[in-house]
Amino acid sequence: MGDPGGDAARDEGAGEGTPVASAEPRDATRAAVTRAREVLSSLIELSGLSRREVERRLVEEGTGTDLGRLLGGRLDLKLRHIVDISRVLGLHPLEFLAMALGEPRERSSFLRRLDALIAPRPVRVADAGPRPRRVDDEAGGIEELQRRVAQLSSEIGELVAALRRRGAEGARTARFVANRC
């Protein structure tokens, strides 16, 4: 594989003032790609299929590649290779990535920030309105619950009847509501 951490031309042709990535992240990327190649090679061996058979199946799907060059590092390992070979092996690509890269020990800082931006906000007590009474807080809680259910059932029945009186469109809606309740 030429340069698993990025384009060699980008690093070699970087002009003055153009930041070049430090060697440490590139080394980590190279190690991860090497590990992915090793895991992919091992999975092919464990699958019971020969490399030649995997290549043949890839060609039949129109996604053929030279596994010798790919697994030997002379051909860049790309996501499409992982997806295609995983499919031939009967493996989900995420399962492969978990084996090759491992599961994270903790949630990334980016996802924690994203959670903070999009996660539902807790409702403040002042905005929540009056606190509903708990049925078991009062004597005869079961009877109260039964009364509430009967009241709701009656209200739904009245709604269904009103919808049926409105005509064909209302009748369809009424059947829908009646079937759901």
Distances 92 to 33, 50, 78 between C-alpha atoms, Å: 18, 19, 16
pLDDT higher for 29 or 122? 29
pLDDT for residue 141 is more than 50: yes
Which range has the worst mean pLDDT, 84-88, 130-134, 135-139, 176-180?
Answer: 135-139
Whether residues 95 and 146 fall in one domain: no
Number of domains in the chain: 2
> Other C-beta atoms within 10 Å of 52: how many?
10
CATH of residue 49's domain is 1.10.260
Asked whether residue 5 is assigned to any structural domain, the reply reads no
pLDDT for residue 26 is more than 60: yes
Among candidates 36, 84, 77, 78, which has minimal Cα distance to 57? Answer: 84
> Other C-beta atoms within 10 Å of 163: how many?
19
pLDDT band at 68 (very low <50, low <70, confident <90, very high): very high
pLDDT for residue 124 is more than 60: no
Question: What are the residue ranges of helices labelled H in the chain?
Answer: 8-12, 23-46, 51-60, 67-72, 79-89, 93-101, 109-118, 141-165, 168-180
Round to whole Å and give the CA distance between 91 and 83.
9
Question: What mean pLDDT value characterizes the chain?
Answer: 77
Highest mean pLDDT among 34-38, 130-134, 160-164: 34-38
Asked whether residue 162 is assigned to any structural domain, the reply reads yes
Q: What is the pLDDT of residue 11?
A: 38
Whether residues 38 and 91 fall in one domain: yes
Whether residues 95 and 153 fall in one domain: no
Q: What is the pLDDT of residue 154?
A: 77
Whether residues 100 and 151 fall in one domain: no
Whether residues 47 and 97 fall in one domain: yes
pLDDT for residue 69 is more than 90: yes
> What dihedral do alpha carbons 68, 41, 51, 67 form, nearest 10°?
-30
Whether residues 32 and 95 fall in one domain: yes
Whether residues 36 and 86 fall in one domain: yes
Asked whether residue 129 is assigned to any structural domain, the reply reads no
Range of the domain at 149: 140-180
